[in-house]
Every structure is written in structure tokens, then in C-alpha cells.
Amino acid sequence: MSKTGKSLPTPYAENSERQIRQEQALNFRIKTRDAGRRFWTRVTTSTPLPQLRSIFSLLAPVSTAILLVGWQKASFEVAIVLHAIITILFIPSLFAAAFARMSARDRLRLRAAGYRSMNAYPGVERILNTLDERRIRERVRLFAATIATITLTSLWNLDAGPTLSSILLGFTLVLDAVIILNNIELGESTPMRSNTFPLLSLHAPTLHDSSLDRVLTDLLVAHLDPETAGMWDAWMASLDQDVRSDQTPDSAVEHLLQAMHLNHIGLLDENGLLSETRRVFKVSAIDGLISESSKFNLITLKRLLGHTRAWQPGLFRLADRLQDALIHGDSTLTEEPWRLDIDLPPRCGQGQGDLFVMIHNHTGTNQTIEVDILAAEGEPEVQTIRIPAKASLQPNTSVSFVEGRGGLVEPLGGLLADSIVLWIGLAWPDSESGPHPVQVTLRNEEGETVESIVVSTILTSGVQAESMGHRMSDAASEVRRIALALAD
């Protein structure tokens, strides 16, 4: 307050006019960039542009090679037109990559009203670097196509000698090879195609807990991109008053995901899924779960679970074997004091693999157990994990249920909740290849060996179906497939 009694201006105060104008300008910029991303992505992926890009990228070097060998029917006009066409076809994909990078940066790094920086979440730099690399590759292939078109046009208009013509045509072929190589690297998997979860297909899980508490929920959250993970946290916090009195938001969501998994494998129909949803959520939450305007509804949760399943099918195989043992009353579940089950991919690409271990303690007493993991020639070769194992309720007989209806979700959920589930990342040197055994040994509190299982995986140094890049692509394809199936 000044001596005259007038207040000094506060241009950076919370409700200052300057801040309001800045926020309005920022919001407008964000919406404009995201609208540009949606538009150019839609143009880039619209049929037949992807097919035309691939076809003309192969025809262009053929036309150049024909000119180079001096075939009498070779035509400069045809070669120029082909290169001009691919130059034009690459423009929408360059704009899509540029707007995707700007939109992702806005989503992950803003610090304004209504937005928050996601720098604390793991995977942010990887997403932005991936989009940066894609934008650079788009620029390189467009630049190469443009220079090739200009070079051919110059040769057509100028009377160059045979030596200079051969050099320039060879240079054009090199540019064509650069275009093809970048086409292979980029593929036709345009990123950020989904408007619901645009960053999901760019995220790869890096840091995660070794022990899963809420098994399906923890696994799903580990595979969410930073933006979606932030929205998930806010959604979970909003469920406090929307679950039944005997539930918490965590337990209700876990129950729903278990029901969705049984629905996916055909043991629960849509009516049964809705009935299980009503068992744990109040009517106020049901409206949101079936509303298309909700960020997390039954449809989007199915897509997220499908994305997780494509990334980590091993855990779902463990869950399927557990429910099969429950249905058939397998002796390992109904009679034995301990049950140990593990899953490791049959092939591990680029020297990496995810090992899942599921343990049930049916001894009737809480114990602290040891799990030894021996990976031949691995890094490290031996891992020992000490973890408390609470006593779980052992089913005496098989579970009878009517297929398609409820009755299996609760007993399966109880077994998953009582289990100890470990998610262990395994690694081997890049020089290793071929079959490698992995042994998992369970020891009780007295140090006695309870059970030991040996599985084998084949290490491959190249990129194949179990590598991270392919799993990312498969996960993105699974999300799109589920979205189309649910839309039909």
C-alpha cells in the first residue's frame, strides 16, 4: 500500500488480468495444436494415402534406375512426376509428426491453470525423444524427395554430358534409398492416432514394483503413459463416495478388471459384467461408467486392459491357469500347502524378458519366504527376494458356476488378492543367444526348499515378436481393434 492509499499493481497475482489473458492465449494455442494433430493425422492415415506412399516410394527408384541404364523407353517426365508425387505425399505425414510433437509437449510439460507438468512421471523423455526422432526422419525423407525431384528436373532441362548425368542419376538413386530406409523405420504406424489416449502407444514401462498388490490394477497402471496415469490418479480419487460400503476404490476397480478379464475369455457375458459392476459401484458411479463422455468408462477400461494384455500376456496366462485350477479343483490348489506357478516368454528379444511368479501360501500361517531366481549367464545370474507371504484361504473343492453369469469373479478375485505376484525383469548380455534355462526356487521360513521350477527361453539378438518395439505396436493395434469392435 502506497502513502496515497492506492494499491500497487500485481500483474502476476492469481486473478490478475494479465494472467487471465496468458491462460486464455495458452488454452487457445493448446487447442489449436491438438486440432492440427487430429486433422493431419486423419489425413495421413486416410485410405489410400498410406498405400500410395509405399507404392510410389518403390516406383520412383525404379524409374531412376531405368534412366541410369539408358533404356530407350526411359522417360524423364515419368521419373519427375513420380518423385513429385511422393514429395507431395510426404507433406501430410510431416505435418502430423510436427503437430504430434507439439501436442505431446503441451500435454506433458505445461505448468498453467488446469494443466500440470508430467516431468515427474517416468517415460516422458522417451515419448518426446521418440516423436523428435520421427519428426527428423519425416524431414529427411521429404528433403530427399524434394532434392531428387529438383535434380531430375535440372537434368531434363539441361544438356548435361553422359558423365555428369550418370553422377546425378546415381545421386538420385542414393536419395531414393534414403527415402526407402526412412519408410522402413517409420512404417505406417502413425503415432497419437487415438483421441482418447493419444500418448498410450508411445509409452513403454520402465520402472515398476517387483511385487504386485492389486494384481491387474498395478499391472495396468504400470503401462499407462504419464498423461493417462495422471488422469487415472484423479479418477481414482473421485471414486471415494461412489463405491459400496464394503469396498474401497482400489478393491472396486480391481474387481471390475477381473470381471472384464473373464468377459474377455468368454466366462462372463455382458449382462454378467454389468451385474458385477453394480455389486461394487453405486448408481452414481454406474452412470459414469456407461457414459461415453466419461474418460474412464467400461469401453475405455476394456481398451486399457487389452493394451496391458498385449504388453504382458504372461500374467494373464497365470490368471487363466489359476481360474482353470479353480474350476477343475486341481490338487495343486485344493490340497498342496504351497502353490508355485511361473511364466516366462518362450522367446526373449534383445536380451530382455519379463518373469512373473505367482505363489499361494495354504499352510495356515504367515511366513517370510525366499524366492531364488537363477538365470543362466544373466545379469545378474542369481536374484534372491525375501517377501512376507500371508496365509490364504484354500478352496476345498472346485467352483461350480453358470457359464456367462457371475459366480467366478469373487473366488478368483480372492485367490488373486491372497497371492504373492512378483514381476521380475530379466536381462542377458547382447552376446548371448539361443536357449537359456531359468530356475525359480521357493523356500519357506525355515529355509527348506518347497518347490522348484525350471523353464527355458530362447534369446534372440534381433528385433522379433517379443521385442519392445513389436510389443508396443501390438499393444497399439489391440487398442484400435477393441475400439472398432466395441464401436460396432
pLDDT tens for each residue of 115-126? 455 666 667 888
Specify the residue for cell string 534383445.
350
CA distance 378 to 271: 47
Q: Where are the domains of the chain?
A: 17-186, 201-487
Using one digit for the tens of pLDDT, what is the confidence trace for 275-312?
999 999 998 889 889 888 888 999 999 999 999 998 99
* pLDDT of res. 193: 81
Could you tell me if 481 and 487 are in contact, meaning their C-beta atoms sit under 8 angstroms apart? Answer: no
Taking residue 143's Cβ as centre, other Cβ atoms within 10 Å add up to 16
What average pLDDT does this structure show over 332-336?
90
> SS3 of 452, please?
strand
Using one digit for the tens of pLDDT, what is the confidence trace for 4-13?
555 555 554 4
Could you tell me if 159 and 446 are in contact, meaning their C-beta atoms sit under 8 angstroms apart? Answer: no
Lowest mean pLDDT, pick from 14-28, 93-107, 304-318, 374-388: 14-28
Taking residue 83's Cβ as centre, other Cβ atoms within 10 Å add up to 31
pLDDT at 324 over 50: yes
CA distance 479 to 474: 9
CATH of 201-487, one of 2.60.40.3880, 2.60.40.10, 3.40.30.10, 1.10.10.60: 2.60.40.3880
CA distance 241 to 426: 41
Residue type, 367: Q
C-alpha cell at 212: 504386485
CA distance 253 to 272: 16
C-alpha cell at 58: 518403390
C-alpha cell at 183: 519408410
CA distance to 177, 226, 269, 288, per residue, from 108 (Å)? 35, 7, 38, 26
Using one digit for the tens of pLDDT, what is the confidence trace for 417-475?
999 999 999 999 888 888 999 999 999 999 899 999 999 999 886 555 455 555 666 65
pLDDT at 15 over 70: no
The larger pLDDT score, comparing residue 362 to residue 405, is at 362
CA distance 193 to 480: 9
Handedness of CA 115, 117, 121, 124 (dihedral sign): positive
CA distance to 50, 195, 262, per residue, from 42 (Å)? 11, 11, 34
Specify the residue for cell string 494384455.
309
C-alpha cell at 428: 542377458
Specify the residue for cell string 502506497.
2
CA-based nearest residue to 469, from 185, 228, 80, 255: 185
Neighbouring C-alpha atoms within 13 Å toward the C-beta of 223? 24
Specify the residue for cell string 507431395.
88
pLDDT at 109 over 90: no
pLDDT at 186 over 60: yes
Using one digit for the tens of pLDDT, what is the confidence trace for 208-230?
889 999 999 999 999 998 888 88
Could you tell me if 137 and 164 are in contact, meaning their C-beta atoms sit under 8 angstroms apart? Answer: no
CA distance 222 to 425: 14
Specify the residue for cell string 522379433.
464
**Residue 403 pLDDT class (50, 70, 90 cuts):** low
- Classify the phi-psi angles of 272: left when phi > 0, otherwise alpha if psi is within -120 to 50, otherwise beta: alpha
Using one digit for the tens of pLDDT, what is the confidence trace for 385-402?
999 999 988 888 877 766
* pLDDT of res. 485: 53
Which helix (H) or strand (E) covers residue 54, if one does?
A: helix 49-69
Mean pLDDT, rounded, of the chain = 85
* pLDDT of res. 218: 95
C-alpha cell at 340: 508355485
CA-based nearest residue to 208, from 64, 410, 424: 424
Could you tell me if 337 and 276 are in contact, meaning their C-beta atoms sit under 8 angstroms apart? Answer: no
Using one digit for the tens of pLDDT, what is the confidence trace for 252-267?
999 999 999 999 998 8
* pLDDT of res. 350: 79
CA distance 207 to 229: 13
* pLDDT of res. 437: 93
* pLDDT of res. 385: 94
Please tell me the pTM assigned to this model: 0.81
Could you tell me if 461 and 351 are in contact, meaning their C-beta atoms sit under 8 angstroms apart? Answer: yes
> SS3 of 376, please?
coil
